[in-house]
Amino acid sequence: MTDTPDILEDSRLDKLKALTALGVDPWGMRFDNHLPIAQARDLPIQVENPAPVRIAGRIVLRRGMGNVHFLNLRDWTGQIQVMAGKKQVGEQGWGIAKNLDLGDLLGVDGHFGKTKTGELTVFANKLTFLGKSLLPHPDKWEGMQDMEFRLRHRYLDLTYTPDTLRRARERIHIVRSMRRFLDDQGFWEVETPTLHSIAGGAAARPFITHHNALDIDLYLRIALELHLKRLLVGGIEKVYEIGRVFRNEGISPRHNPEFTMMELYQAYSDYQGMMDLTEGLILNAIEALGGDKIRPYGGHTIDFTPPWRRASYADLFREHTGADLGDPAAVAAAADSANIITKGKHPDVLIQELFELKVERQLMGPIFVYDYPASLCPLTKRKQGNPALAERFELFINGMELANAYTELNDPVTQEETFRAQLSGLKEEDSMAKMDDDFVRALKHGMPPAGGLGIGIDRLVMLLTNTPTIRDVILFPLLRPEGRPEPVG
């Protein structure tokens, strides 16, 4: 796939040599004060005294007409046509023009105007060669269609698939907006370790690595939670981290083994407070993308106009299945009619399966689902006055879980019991939580009551940028390496 017949590369090498013979450095050098192409396009058009302009970019189209060449130059803001005439660019400039290939990097000095046909154009009077491209570039019209090719050549994809650069830019805007929003509210952004001796805070299989000097195995973190809560104990009352977590699990359009989480914790708040914060965070991100609250996703549209619906787990369950949570017979009947195997399953498990199948997937949202059955979330504080419920919500949009929040458990005795209960009878890697003595000790020193929130950044970016696969909101998603040796035998 990366092999190229010599003939294609050779012609480019020949041109490189020709450039060198002209005294041109084929790898270019510093080129100051060039205007972003999008800004160049906004310059006033003056026939009398056309504005001088300097731009730089990659050649994506070329039309040679004997003694004049038309080039289309693209940078990270836009694209514009360049006209390079033999008489106008001088002897060396013309030598450069004749040896250009698609994909080369070029600086242009000239003046800004329009051609006869009305096309915005930089009329060059000087060409500065800035970098040779030795490999052929994608089809100038079809671009890159093959997903694998795009992912393995993301650097090309960014130039030749407009959506790829747009998504990268919008992702930056979203994350930046979240930081601003939280910073403005007085949160501290912190960095906690990615190498953990105990991979806790979530139910997921970790990656294992090894530290040589200490001669210990370490895990790549699967969540940010336990260190951020330690900081709550330490008195950092509003704290967040936006960071990479790693889960050694399957790959799908919604899962990459490493992905980005935003987790925040706020002392003396609770899950209701987190709901308001979540709505604010996401609406703020939408503002950063232009503010359109009616947004397309896939084949339909999502209306982010606040306030977003808030409904209890029990009410939604009843609404979508017709069964009452407290009525095991009705739950079993509903499960039967949904073709769920009921035999030998605990009622709570049945409820959750039914909820995922009949409720979650129908939730176009945005909608906050709150007050989960306590049995489903042992690490959450029980609801005041109703110990069967947990103070937790999840935000669903387009059937996808976008955010997850709790009133955090700060009782070390209950926490320790929960850790032990989780450990017994389960393989450790499948356990919801691993016994973390240091964390329990931290709680014993007193953690304030608090609300905690986690948002999957990649999925949020998918939704807000109308991207169907996580692979296109992560610049370099995990792929099997190319060219592995054939297995023996």
Partner RNA sequence: GGCCUGGUAGCUCAGCUGGUAGAGCAACGGACUUUUAAUCCGUAGGUCCUGGGUUCGAAUCCCAGCCAGGUCACCA
Q: Which of residues 195-214 bind RNA (CB under 7 A)?
A: 202-204
The answer to the question of residue 458 lying near RNA (CB under 7 A) is yes
Of 58, 72, 279, 308, the residue at the interface with RNA (CB under 7 A) is 72
The answer to the question of residue 46 lying near RNA (CB under 7 A) is no
Q: Give the span between the Cα atoms of 469 and 147, in whole angstroms.
A: 11
**Sequence-distant contacts of 174-181: CB under 8 A, at least 24 apart:** 174/285, 174/288, 174/289, 174/457, 174/460, 174/461, 174/464, 175/242, 175/457, 176/288, 177/284, 177/285, 177/287, 177/288, 178/242, 178/262, 178/281, 178/284, 178/285, 179/242, 180/284, 181/280, 181/281, 181/284
Q: Please state the separation of Cα 208 from the chain's center in Å.
A: 24
- Compute the least distance from the CB of residue 287 to RNA, in Å: 24
Of 32, 48, 91, 142, the residue at the interface with RNA (CB under 7 A) is 142
Of 254, 310, 318, 382, the residue at the interface with RNA (CB under 7 A) is 254
Minimum CB distance to RNA smaller for 107 or for 110: 110
Minimum CB distance to RNA smaller for 11 or for 384: 11
Interhelix angle 162-184/271-288, nearest 10 degrees: 130
- Compute the least distance from the CB of residue 466 to RNA, in Å: 14
- The footprint of RNA on residues 383-412 (CB under 7 A) is 401, 404
Q: Give the span between the Cα atoms of 163 and 457, in whole angstroms.
A: 18
- Compute the least distance from the CB of residue 384 to RNA, in Å: 25
Taking each continuous run of H as one helix and of E as one strand, the counts in the chain are: 14, 19
Residues 220-249 vs RNA: string with x where CB under 7 A?
---------------------------x-x
Residue 304 structure tokens? 């982010």
166, 475 contact by CB (below 8 A) = no
Minimum CB distance to RNA smaller for 223 or for 233: 223
Minimum CB distance to RNA smaller for 67 or for 386: 67
The answer to the question of residue 266 lying near RNA (CB under 7 A) is no
Minimum CB distance to RNA smaller for 83 or for 283: 83
The answer to the question of residue 272 lying near RNA (CB under 7 A) is no
The answer to the question of residue 136 lying near RNA (CB under 7 A) is yes
Of 20, 252, 301, 362, the residue at the interface with RNA (CB under 7 A) is 252
Q: Are strands 79-85 and 120-131 parallel, antiparallel or unpaired?
A: parallel
The answer to the question of residue 64 lying near RNA (CB under 7 A) is yes
The answer to the question of residue 427 lying near RNA (CB under 7 A) is no
Count CB atoms within 10 A of the CB of residue 359.
20
Of 56, 168, 456, 463, the residue at the interface with RNA (CB under 7 A) is 456
Strand partners, 133: none
- The footprint of RNA on residues 82-121 (CB under 7 A) is 83, 85-88, 101-102, 115-119, 121
The answer to the question of residue 66 lying near RNA (CB under 7 A) is yes
